[in-house]
A and B are shown apart, each in its own frame.
Chain A
């Protein structure tokens, strides 16, 4: 079995006095979509931020492309080939759309072909290319945030709830764009609460609860097994009703 592109082995993360991740074991295979599902507060965002080094793992190890990146600072992890699309988008509002993309292209130059491809995924970005990113709508900001991760080829893209709070039409566009990204051979770890979207995109799936991975397998198996769905994804409903 080939070594996964990214693997987390017994990762614990503390934020202040809170013990958020309590031994996360996760493998992200190269060249596919892995979807991380789970209820609010399960630790999905913390997992992504810990991978990026924004919160340091207090125990366990994170390996990326064969190297231990657990203790590396965020810029080094990003430079190793991981792009991050945070939940709150974190676009630079005072910069233009073009400047946001130029900044994300660490070579300093945007590859015109790559830009054409991004414009084909998100045509709104072409219309507003020279205008302030802060004035974009919520959906357009999300597109820009994703485009920033795609502007250069990266080995792995971490995406945190890209469909959250977006109108259904924009979610459909987003799923279409992600399908193209998937067809281009990118490896993506996607955090998502929308199971319909997750099912359409995911090759493999991991389900989190209480800071641990409680299930990992093929998305097709989970999609076909209603009892498993109910047990894993209905579990949180029972807990929070």
Chain B
């Protein structure tokens, strides 16, 4: 083999997609078939896990980019989810008639309006959160944890003040209720399919922005080496603010989707899911969108299967998964090279 051929092969190997975590996720799903016992139950559990995984991905993707780009640990991210869900509620209340209407158009419209308003409001809230809470503590991890956690508590209390402490029940729009039957035994809830579809759209949209636009190029470069991006003449702070706002808006979208999924809103819903989000961000690889997706799906699949097969194990399944992944790949499934 000539030196040049060897050189080319080395480069090709380096550029290839790492299929192992993807295949692992598929293997986990397939391995659960005999353990679950019934194929129809397995399909139901798997679709539920895909829906849950996609919603976690939507909520976690912004956090992983924020951490990757500016090394900021934002424990306040959970409250963006709650804020998003409650902002959706503000749209849902006056449009209750659209929710109960049998018109698919009105049902889709109310969901889209909830999403649009929640994303806009949470994005603006994220902008204020970054300026007031995050900006003074750049580069200081301990202070970031303390201050963002404090911000989360303050905003949660504000939500209690405005919306009260009781859980609020919300109804799914009429067309999204019930399930779709596939054969005699398999029934899949419609909303779960919608959640999967929204997650896929968000993932493809993010891939498109990250891989096909200049802003995306800057974000990918910034996640690897923010200092060098600045040395090329780009203002990384401005870029970071944009990513922070987009990440907050995505958390708001996740809050709306999660709220409809649970059909109950509580002020603490964001904090409850925050632990899962951090697990996903860590096992996916800090700053990696692909890792975030695969991590979300793995977490959701294992949570759903273990909850069915052995509920007691379900309580520790995600921590166990995180430990196993970190023992295998200490930097996460798709580590981002920091140069």
Which residues of A line the B interface, CB within 8 A? 52, 54, 73-75, 78-79, 84, 86, 88-96, 99, 102-104, 106, 108, 124, 127-128, 131-132, 134-137, 148
Contact = CB atoms under 8 A, between A and B. Distances in A.
A174 B10 CA distance: 22
Contacts, number: 86
Interface string B1-39: 000100110111111000000000000000000000000
Most chain A beta-carbon neighbours within 10 Å: one of B4, B220, B228: B228
Which secondary structure dominates chain B's binding surface? helix
Contacts of A89: 339
A135 B232 contact: no
B11 A135 contact: yes
A132 B14 contact: yes
Contact of A54 (B7, B231, B235): B231
Contacts of B189: none
A127 B235 CA distance: 32
B15 A131 contact: yes
B228 A90 contact: yes
Given A103-B217, A131-B12, 15 more contacts: A54-B230, A74-B227, A75-B233, A75-B236, A78-B230, A93-B337, A94-B336, A95-B217, A95-B221, A103-B229, A124-B7, A127-B4, A132-B15, A135-B10, A135-B15
Contact of B11 (A88, A95, A128): A128
B234 interface: yes
B159 interface: no
B224 interface: yes
B221 A75 contact: no
A92 B221 contact: yes
A21 B94 CA distance: 65
B217 A86 contact: no
Contacts of A86: 228, 231
B337 A94 contact: yes
B326 interface: no
Contacts of A103: 217-218, 221, 229, 232
A88 B339 contact: yes
Contact of A99 (B12, B217, B232, B233): B217
B157 interface: no
A77 to B, nearest CB: 8
Contact of A92 (B14, B224, B235): B224
Contacts of A106: 232-234
Nearest to B231: A84
Contact of A127 (B8, B230, B231): B8
B31 to A, nearest CB: 31
A214 B287 CA distance: 45
A86 to B, nearest CB: 7
B181 to A, nearest CB: 44
Contacts of A131: 11-12, 14-15
B11 A90 contact: no
A5 B11 CA distance: 40
Contact of B225 (A92, A102, A104, A128): A92
Contacts of B14: 131-132, 134-135
Contacts of B11: 128, 131-132, 135-136
A94 B220 contact: yes
Q: Give the 3 A-B residue pairs with the shortest CB-CB distance, closest first.
A: A135-B14, A78-B233, A132-B15
B131 interface: no
Contacts of A52: 231
Contacts of B13: 135
Given A92-B221, A95-B220, A75 B235 contact: yes
Contacts of B15: 96, 131-132, 135
A28 B308 CA distance: 72
B188 to A, nearest CB: 37
Nearest to B234: A75
B214 interface: yes
B220 A92 contact: yes
A132 B11 CA distance: 7
Most chain A beta-carbon neighbours within 10 Å: one of B8, B11, B337: B11
Most chain B beta-carbon neighbours within 10 Å: one of A94, A131, A137: A94
A93 B14 CA distance: 10
Contacts of B336: 94
Interface in B234-266: 234-236
Contacts of A108: 214
A96 B11 CA distance: 11
B230 A75 contact: yes
A73 B229 CA distance: 13
Contacts of A102: 214, 217
Contacts of A104: 232
A94 B8 CA distance: 17
Contacts of B337: 93-94, 134
Nearest to A88: B339
Given A128-B11, A131-B14, A135-B11, A74 B231 contact: yes
